[in-house]
Amino acid sequence: MQAPTRPSDRQAAIFISVAVGIVVAVVTTAVFWWVYSLVLAPERAAAAIAAATPWSPSDGIKVITSAQRNTPTDGRQPWLGEQAWTEGVQAGQAWVQANPNTVNVQVLAGMTSAQIWTYMQQYVSGALGVGCQYCHNIQNFASDEYPQKIAARNMLYLVSDVNAQFIVNLPNWRGNYVQCATCHNNAPNNLESFGVQFIKSVPDILVTVDPLDENGVAITDPALKPEALQQPISLQDSVLYYVYNYFVWKPFDPNVPESGRGALALTYDGGRTQEQVTINQNVMNYQAWSLGVGCTYCHNSRNFVGYELETASNISNPQYGYNKLKAQRMLQLTTWLKENWTTYGAIPKDAIPSELQGGASRFSYQQIDGQFYNVPGCYTCHQRAAIPKGAINQTAIPEGDTGVVILPPVLRGTP
């Protein structure tokens, strides 16, 4: 009978080394996870909870009452601080009592003074994080003497038009509307279009942009390109260009596999340059960062070109076809916003404010007709949430049950 063989010293050493390596790896992983749980996990968990918590009017009112009293230099009274908030509320209540019928109301027609006061206090003042004095002479709420009031009125028209033209006809729409808080997030000028992740992750390198024409053919002759693209521009600026200059040249038809093509399409006769592919991917990254989602939120990873609208067995998100159509519609919205921004009362600036340069603000400003405007983009509303925290869903509180109108019909685009 043959004696059992014993492992050689070499084999034993290898076995022990592997065993020790496994133990070290497990212990190291456990230590790193422990450190992470102590340092980052609570913050990330709190951020996730905050992102999932719907916006509330009280959020903006707390911003006002907890702020230091400001000192305006343009004739307006302070609109920040607890005292300013109290003064505005008292003046508003007195105005409603003295004027039960509306005076100089142009957008919210059909509502009583009391209804308008309640809506403005909670869903406009609260949304912007400013007291009544930001827009109003609180001795005469009907006065149009401050340009901020004219801008706010036109922004109400904007809410109505965006909901009517873009939101309520979204594919697979779930009843969420745009309101003031969707863009402003409790600050009057908080329209940042590009988050920190975009600034840090997109290299500031020069690229040649070959845009598509209305037939989906690449324009390679510099003389035929838009003036802004006739010379190489930074990769960052190329992303901005497509976010604010998107169009569809082959509308989606579920019966035509190659339909649904727009300005960012990579499929056309002759192929695309590597630089254009890089631009495309960075625009996609910008959208993903803005919504806090990955590629498969909109795309079938096995067929990025397709617009399948039915549940597929090879993906986990059955709505990806609808989401891709939604994303395309939203790029049309950002383009429409830039093209129409001067119509809706935004107050322009002669230059990008020096105190805002650097960081995201520089990218949020667009030059239109020789002046600079802070124009919304994907990140403005979404702030890393697929459904913007500041979106509002009227069906959450049916008027018939409570009598509460949290979004007047005229602002839903369906008067």
Evaluate whether 336 touches 268 at the Cβ level (below 8 Å). Answer: no
My answer on whether 340 and 299 are in the same domain is yes
pLDDT score at 195: 84
**Among 81, 94, 88, CA closest to 136:** 88
Phi, psi dihedral angles at 261 (to 5 degrees): -90, 140
pLDDT score at 228: 92
Q: What is the chain's mean pLDDT, rounded? A: 85
In a domain, 16, yes or no: no
In a domain, 165, yes or no: yes
pLDDT score at 148: 94
In a domain, 327, yes or no: yes
pLDDT score at 347: 86
My answer on whether 80 and 158 are in the same domain is yes
Residue 236, CA atoms < 13 Å, CB-side half-sphere: 18
My answer on whether 202 and 62 are in the same domain is no
Residues 281-327: tens digit of each pLDDT: 999 999 999 999 888 888 888 888 877 766 444 444 555 568 888 99
Which is more confidently placed, 4 or 181? Answer: 181
The strand pairing partners of 61, in sequence order, are none
pLDDT score at 355: 65
pLDDT score at 342: 92
Question: Which CATH number goes with the domain that contains 136?
Answer: 1.10.468
Mean pLDDT of 29-48: 66
**Helix (H, G, I), strand (E, B), or coil: what is residue 343?**
helix
**Helix (H, G, I), strand (E, B), or coil: what is residue 10?**
helix
Residues 196-226: tens digit of each pLDDT: 888 888 988 999 999 999 999 999 999 999 9
pLDDT score at 214: 92
CA angle 128, 129, 130 (to 5 degrees): 95
Evaluate whether 125 touches 58 at the Cβ level (below 8 Å). Answer: no
Q: Residue 65: pLDDT above 70?
A: yes
State percent of the chain over pLDDT 90: 50
**Helix (H, G, I), strand (E, B), or coil: what is residue 286?**
helix
My answer on whether 77 and 212 are in the same domain is no
My answer on whether 80 and 225 are in the same domain is no
CA distance linking residue 410 with residue 177, whole number of Å: 12
pLDDT score at 233: 95
In a domain, 38, yes or no: no
Q: How confident is the model at residue 402 (pLDDT cuts 50, 70, 90)?
A: very low
Residues 96-148: tens digit of each pLDDT: 999 999 999 999 988 999 999 999 998 999 999 999 999 999 999 999 999 99
My answer on whether 64 and 179 are in the same domain is yes
pLDDT score at 73: 93
The strand pairing partners of 392, in sequence order, are 177
Q: One-letter amino acid identity for 44?
A: R
pLDDT score at 365: 85
In a domain, 5, yes or no: no
In a domain, 330, yes or no: yes
Supply 323's token pair.
């989401």
My answer on whether 398 and 373 are in the same domain is no
Supply 174's token pair.
């779930």
In a domain, 11, yes or no: no
My answer on whether 148 and 267 are in the same domain is no
**Among 3-7, 242-246, 315-319, 339-343, where is mean pLDDT lowest?**
315-319
My answer on whether 360 and 405 are in the same domain is no
My answer on whether 337 and 213 are in the same domain is yes
Q: Where are the alpha helices (DSSP H) in 125-220?
A: 126-128, 147-162, 180-184, 196-201
> How large is the greatest C-alpha to C-alpha distance in the chain, in angstroms?
113
Evaluate whether 284 touches 324 at the Cβ level (below 8 Å). Answer: no
Mean pLDDT of 169-180: 88
CA angle 303, 309, 313 (to 5 degrees): 65
CA-to-CA separations, 299 to 41, 75, 169, 312, 327, in angstroms, rounded: 30, 53, 21, 12, 11
In a domain, 135, yes or no: yes
pLDDT score at 338: 94
pLDDT score at 297: 87
My answer on whether 326 and 274 are in the same domain is yes
The length of the chain in residues reads 415
CA-to-CA separations, 364 to 14, 94, 318, 341, 372, in angstroms, rounded: 59, 39, 33, 13, 10
CA distance linking residue 242 with residue 280, whole number of Å: 9
Residue tagged 């913007």 (tokens)? 388
Q: How confident is the model at residue 57 (pLDDT cuts 50, 70, 90)?
A: confident
CA distance linking residue 415 with residue 410, whole number of Å: 4
Q: Residue 401: pLDDT above 50?
A: no
E strand spans, 194-245: 206-207, 233-234
Q: With residue 375 as reference, give the H or E element that holds it.
A: none
pLDDT score at 376: 92
Supply 284's token pair.
């996609």
Total of domains in the chain: 2
DSSP secondary structure letters along 70-99: P--SSSPPP-SSHHHHHHHHHHHHHHHHH-
pLDDT score at 374: 87
pLDDT score at 50: 60
Backbone dihedral region of 154: left (phi > 0), alpha (psi from -120 to 50 degrees) or beta?
Answer: alpha
My answer on whether 310 and 400 are in the same domain is no
Evaluate whether 282 touches 204 at the Cβ level (below 8 Å). Answer: no
Structural domain of residue 227, as residue ranges? 196-382
Residues 213-264: tens digit of each pLDDT: 999 999 999 999 999 999 999 999 999 999 999 999 999 888 887 888 999 9
